[in-house]
Amino acid sequence: MNKIYNPTPDTWVSILERPTKTVNDIEATVKEIFAAVQKDGDVAVAKYTTQFDGVYFENSEVTAAEIEVAINTISDELKAAISLAKANVETFHQVQKTSRVSVETAEGVQCWQEKRPIQKVGLYIPGGTAPLFSTVLMLAVPAKIAGCNEIVLCSPPDKNGNINPAILYAANLCGVTKIIKVGGIQAIAGMTFGTKAIPKVYKIFGPGNQYVTVAKQLATQFGVAIDMPAGPSELLVVADDTAVPAFVASDLLSQAEHGTDSQVILVSTSKAMIDAVESEIQSQLEVLPRKAIAEKAIANSKLIYVENDEIALELIDEYGPEHFIICVQDEDFYVNNIGNAGSVFIGNYTPESAGDYASGTNHTLPTNGYAKNYSGVNLDSFMKSMTFQKISEKGIQNIGKAIEIMAEAEGLQAHKNAVTLRLKSLE
Amino acid sequence: MNKIYNPTPDTWVSILERPTKTVNDIEATVKEIFAAVQKDGDVAVAKYTTQFDGVYFENSEVTAAEIEVAINTISDELKAAISLAKANVETFHQVQKTSRVSVETAEGVQCWQEKRPIQKVGLYIPGGTAPLFSTVLMLAVPAKIAGCNEIVLCSPPDKNGNINPAILYAANLCGVTKIIKVGGIQAIAGMTFGTKAIPKVYKIFGPGNQYVTVAKQLATQFGVAIDMPAGPSELLVVADDTAVPAFVASDLLSQAEHGTDSQVILVSTSKAMIDAVESEIQSQLEVLPRKAIAEKAIANSKLIYVENDEIALELIDEYGPEHFIICVQDEDFYVNNIGNAGSVFIGNYTPESAGDYASGTNHTLPTNGYAKNYSGVNLDSFMKSMTFQKISEKGIQNIGKAIEIMAEAEGLQAHKNAVTLRLKSLE
């Protein structure tokens, strides 16, 4: 672990630097697969599924029978846990509903804003060792609340041609309309162009490896929106002597086990706390099943000592952490003033894993500094805002002259004329 | 004009097709300029400004003296018009403010969502024949209401090294913090990487030609967010016999004068209305100063007759127009059911130009079908949503078990451990 004491502000950017990604190497592969899927549809998708996942499908859509098997496979204990998490995620996203915002800006000029669902959305759920059924909840629950009428889920099959039963169980529970056994670049390409088996969607959500990330970025060039650019997961904890070193260490390690490129940072105004957390990390690390991964991430982690809360806040705001845990005496100072963070966890009994699974907040969050300019996934991510205006005869008489003058000044005579004709008809 | 009667749904996609863009040709130029600005900063920017705009600056920032001159140049009449428009835009965006959304998802588990400003934003305002000072209002007013603390505006200089005074006047009025005389790709690159003269920003807004559009798309690969992908402006009017043909024609022409690639569509359940609008267009077109442009756009326009409102709605929803004017008897049918549109104008006295300038709604809207998945610019475009959670001892006892079970099922032991340690401490 790197311990850094009182770094000067001019060194912050380099201290807080994230690992660079090598997007260029991947781009050619992604473009090739996109072109193939655009041209050959399901034939190309099947080819890449065989190539990358080692299975061939006549029909890649998950059947009702497969879902039935999944439902019977999941333990009652896990079902109850998923049910509790789902209820909390529902509660938190339900309250995010906004009603129509309406105002008469001038007499006779009524303007309003309404949010309407994005009609077709695609959810990508990675395969691999950790079956992210929790992400299914985080994406499908708000999609359903938003009122999206087509919710497509793509996830790669394992070598036997199956998707993890917990993913199927969660998808079915949350009202996903179609589940397709396809992963990687070919899944993103399929949802971008549409094939016979894979519906074309308007927006794609969900995490993935570097290939999926680049594929999502390329999808935006074909008219599809995405939730946000992705990057390795990250956690920053600010702690003073009121924190519990064992808890802080466990949070840092829970982040570190995600991947070797995970970012783990502790900022503290207490040198004693830094030392205590460091030694806790060492002992907790020993017994972790994913020790090999966590160890590498921890080796790159940073324990940063600063003089006071003001400096700490400024440094944290410069970083813009995806997950931000606050374990300090004066937590309100950080809560009220943090400008850039994805999700914030407050106090000694609020581990990051609570937000990952069951507190109700969304765990699809901006990493890689994107907390400066992107929202985490929320109800609005599945909707778009539309505006409406209705102007009465009186209304156009009130604002018509201003429109004519401005249109004229911009050299747009036909814009002016549309108003002039109406004003004249009212003379 | 192309008149199309009762097109079958399978032909809609081709009938409603937008002009294809040739992004690939432009990409190489954009990448080259980005690389140069990233490497050489202001030196590269100055080089391209000389090359494309024909002027050289030692200092490209607009001075207080230049703003003073602009203020004195603008007529009182135009100032009053801008002032009225600004007030309406302010009113409409002010009411879009949302307060903290907070809920206790389970006993002891408090979750809330808050929106905080994107700290640094960049506004791009094109130069050229039509000085879009109205766009300055549409971007700077909500940026200011959102609380963005750095609002940078870039706009290309004319041959004499000046920005149109109306743009300067509006920018100064709306509280833009820095105005820089730089345009095109080099402006977007400058705001992406930051130079000595041009601040690096977190999100870039505003219209532009194809070069600017591709540059904004490239900017997203360097961590910068953008308002939305752009495309040629478009208008769709639905009209029945209650519409006024002269008004409808004037609206279609106001769209057509934007550019030769503008999209203009009339959908009607009345053949008589289609013929009446067609003949009105011909006569109004004759006297327009931008006749040459409007004529070309009109030549590509489509007048589509359909049997009834249900078919019309379905067709319009498939198109997803940027601007959508409703001039029919049963306007509520369209207002309540339209799923995809940027901004909607209702009734005979609500021309599109009202929304372009002064009704209060934003005129930066999704074109090119993006109304299906993107919001128009609104107050939230200048903010990001952050979530917070605070869990009490009681709270973690309520949801801790579920987290442990889910983390275990996903194979993430350290995530589980962060909860287990806390639960144990409470035993």
* pLDDT at residue A5, as a whole number: 92
**Cβ A354–B416 below 8 Å, yes or no?**
no
AA identity, residue B391: I
What DSSP character marks residue A242? T
Closest Cα in chain B, distance from residue A56 (Å): 26
Strand partners, B386: B114
| B417 is known to lie in a ligand binding site | no
What is d(CA A342, CA A324) in angstroms, rounded to the nearest whole number? 7
E strand segments, A250-382: 263-268, 302-305, 323-327, 343-346
Q: Which of A229, A344, A373 minimises the CB distance to B388?
A: A344
Catalytic position from the list A234, A257, A280, A323: A323
Inter-residue contact B390 to B107 (CB < 8 Å): no
d(CA B376, CA B385): 17
Pairing of strands B383-391, A343-346: parallel
Give the C-alpha separation, B240 to B316, whole Å: 15
Question: What residues of chain A, 34 to 93, have a C-beta less than 8 Å from chain B?
Answer: 77-78, 80-82, 84-85, 87-88, 91-92
Judged by a CB distance cut-off of 8 A, whether residue B135 touches chain A is no
Nearest CA distance, A60 vs chain B (angstrom): 24
User: Can you tell me which residue has the tokens 């040709």?
Assistant: B25
- Each residue's pLDDT, cut to its tens digit, for chain B (427 residues) gives 899 999 999 999 888 888 765 666 788 999 999 999 999 999 999 999 999 999 998 899 999 999 999 999 999 999 999 999 999 999 999 999 999 999 999 999 999 999 999 999 999 999 876 789 999 999 999 999 999 999 999 999 999 999 999 999 999 999 999 999 999 999 999 999 999 999 999 999 999 888 999 999 999 999 999 999 988 889 999 999 999 999 999 999 999 998 888 889 999 999 999 999 999 999 999 988 888 888 998 988 899 999 999 999 999 999 999 999 999 999 999 999 999 999 999 999 999 999 999 999 999 999 999 999 999 999 999 999 999 999 999 999 999 999 999 999 999 999 999 999 999 999 9
**Partners of residue B91 in chain A, C-beta under 8 Å:** 103, 105
Mean pLDDT of the A3-12 span? 92
Between positions 277 and 336 of A, the ones with CB within 8 A of B are 284, 288-290, 294, 335
Tell me if A209 is assigned to a ligand binding site.
yes
Answer yes or no: is pLDDT of A225 > 90.
yes
- Between CA B132 and CA B127 the distance in angstroms is 8
β-bridge pairing A203-205 and A178-181: unpaired
Query: Distance (Å, rounded) from C-alpha A74 to C-alpha A81?
Result: 11
Q: Does B391 touch chain A (CB under 8 A)?
A: yes
Q: Is A8 on the interface with B (CB under 8 A)?
A: no
Residue A67 has pLDDT above 70, yes or no: yes
In chain B, what are the domains? Answer: 2-20+231-360 (3.40.50.1980), 23-226 (3.40.50.1980), 392-425 (1.20.5.1300)
Residues of A whose CB is below 8 A from B77: 405
Q: Could you tell me if A257 lies within 8 Å of chain B, comparing CB atoms? A: yes
How far is it, in rounded angstroms, from Cα A307 to Cα A227? 38
Q: Indicate the residue of A129, A376, A406 with minimum beta-carbon distance to B385.
A: A376
Question: What is the rounded CA–CA span in Å between residue B394 and residue B400?
Answer: 10
The answer, for A371 touching chain B at a CB cutoff of 8 Å, is yes
Question: In whole angstroms, what is the distance from residue B27 CA to residue B31 CA?
Answer: 6
Report, as an integer, the average pLDDT of A248-275: 94
Most A-contacting residue of B93, B107, B286, B357 (CB-CB within 10 A), to test interface? B357
Start-to-end C-alpha separation, chain A: 79
Concerning whether A322 is annotated as a catalytic residue, the answer is: yes
Is A32 marked as a binding-site residue?
Answer: no
* Chain B: residue whose CA lies nearest to A216: B221
**Cα–Cα separations (whole angstroms), residue A265 to A139, A232, A278, B73, B263:** 27, 14, 12, 54, 51
Burial string for A201-239 (b: 16+ CB within 10 Å, else e) reads: bbbbbbbbbbbbbbbbbbbbeebbbbbbbbbbbbbbbbb
Q: Show residues of chain A in contact with B320, CB under 8 Å.
A: none
Centre a 10 Å sphere on the Cβ of residue A310 and count the other Cβ atoms it contains: 11
**Residues A8, A11, A15, A17: is their CA dihedral positive or negative?**
positive
CB A235 within 8 A of CB A98: no
Helices B393-409 and B413-425: angle between axes, nearest 10 degrees: 150
Residue A219 sits at the chain B interface (C-beta within 8 Å): no
Considering the candidates B257, B323, B363, B404, report the single residue annotated as catalytic. Answer: B323
Decide if pLDDT at A71 tops 70: yes
- Phi and psi at residue B238, to the nearest 5°: -110, 130
pLDDT digits (tens, 9 = 90+) for A312-344: 999 999 999 999 999 999 999 999 999 999 999
Q: How far apart are CA A176 and CA A151, in angstroms?
A: 5
d(CA A323, CA A363): 9
Find, in chain A, the residue whose alpha carbon is nearest to that of B258. A412
What residues in A contact B134, CB-CB < 8 Å?
406, 410
Residues A337-367: tens digit of each pLDDT: 999 999 999 999 999 999 999 999 999 999 9
Q: pLDDT tens digits, residue range A284-320?
A: 999 888 888 889 989 889 999 999 999 999 999 999 9
Q: What single-letter amino acid sits at A151?
A: I
pLDDT score, position B421: 97
Instruction: Please give, rounded to a whole number of angstroms, the shortest distance from the CA of A126 to a CA of chain B.
Output: 12
Chain A residues touching residue B406 (CB < 8 angstroms):
78, 81-82, 85, 133-134, 357-358
A210 is in an annotated binding site: no
Residue A20: is its pLDDT beyond 80?
Answer: no
User: What are φ and ψ of residue A126, in 5° steps?
Assistant: -65, 160
Q: Find, among A399, A416, A39, A420, the residue nearest to A193 by Cα.
A: A39
Is the separation of the CB atoms in B418 and A250 below 8 Å? yes
Angle of the B291-299 helix axis to the B271-286 helix axis, nearest 10: 150
Interface touch B384/A374, C-beta < 8 Å: yes
pLDDT above 90: percentage of residues in chain A: 87
Asked if B349 lies within 8 A of A130 by C-beta distance, the reply is no
Instruction: Establish whether B323 is a catalytic residue.
Output: yes
